[in-house]
Structure 1
């Protein structure tokens, strides 16, 4: 049973880092897609949404090609800095970040597009610069939508399995997350452990979804 709590701690660590990274990357991408008009914008949106619909094994293969020791990025990191990402918890973070990214990006784009342009224009008339306008007007109006996306992304990262297994493997105490631990327990016939892990994952995801659901009505009511 101790291994279950170790797997939970690792899953929370991976999901936490993935959510923090997506706060920056997903929000920035959502803002760019919401405000910039350029040729191919919807094509870019579709490409950035691909991790949501691609089979996990395909996504895992792409990551191996990218950050594996023979990959162009992974090979460069290994040669220049001696950094290895495959079969590490950092590799699991990368996989979880990419899988959950579309949830934050889509939510952030919708939230920023929902901000009334007249309110932002009023801020400009009052002399606010673009940075001050973003932090004092745009972000306060959009934060609920972004937070809802982050909560969904956290739940998705917490339950990530396929791409994480391909990139990080299943090393107990190092890269074995909750979802992978469930798979290993079932394969080993350890039903009690599998049931405990499933209950932990289910309870965690339900709590996150309830929190995200509480945000949505408030955002629509603004």
Structure 2
């Protein structure tokens, strides 16, 4: 049985991970499509920037977010003028989690789009369909399993994000204390091992469920490619 503080961390983590995934998904689909279908100067640079959060230490990513989106940062100061604040808020936790999960999302979606036969898109184009309509009616439906797999992976990654989040938004109970932060906090106090262990079990269950769902969707994509 989870206590009130533990439930608070679980529910906040689900909220942060959900908004991180939903917020990153439109840009993730666009970026994946651009990398899969377009040729443009600096494409490898863009690909490198997309994958950068996987390579950098999470604390570095969190610090860069603090410099950029903090209340004194170039973007954060401008957003503060219109009442939008990310630093030390749950919205900042969602932003940090979304950025850390973005590479996994883009990779899964890009592979799914690349698995779609370009001849199908060309055929739709020869019938007079616009590029946007071809994407909406051909590319998007055929790559949907990969999009779902990418979203699930991003959600699981966002649930477990710690380094960038705690650096950017700290560890404030009820506001930014997500599952990993709560586990860390409980381990710092005497007698907190039981609560930490319960939250670890919850984290494992959620992560395994997400990975199993992602694997199932990935197999569907692989089966489609094999059946060309």
Report if TM-score (shorter chain) is over 0.5: yes
SS state at 2:161 partner: coil
Give the aligned partner of residue 18 of structure 1.
Answer: 20
Give CA deviations for 1:59-98 in whole Å, capped at 9, x if unaligned. 01100110112211111222x2243321100110110010
Structure 1 residue 125 displacement after superposition: 2.4
- Higher mean Cα deviation, 31-40 or 94-103? 31-40
Give CA deviations for 1:96-149 in whole Å, capped at 9, x if unaligned. 010001111112222212210111111122332222211111111111112111
1:41 aligns with 2:46: no
The whole-number CA distance in structure 1 between the counterparts of 2:47 and 2:39 is 12
Mapping of residues 27-106 of structure 1, within 5 Å:
27-78=29-80, 80-106=81-107
- Higher mean Cα deviation, 135-144 or 80-89? 80-89
Give the aligned partner of residue 143 of structure 1.
Answer: 144
TM-score, normalised with respect to structure 2: 0.94
Question: Of 195, 198, 215, which aligns to 1:196?
Answer: 198
Please, which runs of 5 or more residues in structure 2 have no aligned partner? none
Please, which runs of 5 or more residues in structure 1 have no aligned partner? none
Give the aligned partner of residue 216 of structure 1.
Answer: 218
Structure 1 residue 200 displacement after superposition: 0.4
TM-score, normalised with respect to structure 1: 0.96
Give CA deviations for 1:3-49 in whole Å, capped at 9, x if unaligned. 11111100000000010012111111111111211122112101111
Give the aligned partner of residue 124 of structure 2.
Answer: 123
SS state at 1:221 partner: helix
The whole-number CA distance in structure 2 between the counterparts of 1:82 and 1:110 is 38
Structure 1 residue 217 displacement after superposition: 1.2
